[in-house]
Amino acid sequence: MGPRVLGSPVDEQTRCVHYRTALDVVAIRFRCCDQYYPCHLCHQENAGHAAVQWPVEEHDTAAVLCGVCRSELTIREYLGSDGCPRCTAPFNPRCALHSHLYFDPATR
C-alpha cells in the first residue's frame, strides 16, 4: 500500500488534477510537514503553510514515492534518473522544471 498521498484527487498512481499524464507518477514528501503530495500545487492548496525545500545534505532521505510500484526513493536517486530504479516506470522529465520547488536549487 505504501505511504498516504494527500492532494486533489489522487489516482492509484499519485496523479492529481494538476499533473495527470502517463508519466506523472511520483509524489514528493514535503520537508516542512513530512507528508506526501503529488505536486507543489496540491501542497499549496491543502497544507496551510509554505513549502520548505530539501537541502543537499538531506538528499539521501527517502522522500519520493513511485506511484507505480509504491517504492520510496531517496532524493538523490530521483534526481539522478528519468524513471524508477525499482520497477523502471518512466517519470516525467519535465518535473525538472519544478524541482526547485522541492529541492533547494542553491545546493544541487
Sign of the C-alpha dihedral computed for residues 11, 18, 33 and 75 taken in this order: positive
Q: What's the pLDDT tens digit per position in 31-54?
A: 999 999 999 999 999 999 999 999
pLDDT of residue 9: 86
Q: What's the pLDDT tens digit per position in 55-106?
A: 999 999 999 999 999 999 999 999 999 999 999 999 988 788 889 999 987 6
As a whole number of Å, the CA-based R_g of the chain is 12
pLDDT of residue 10: 84
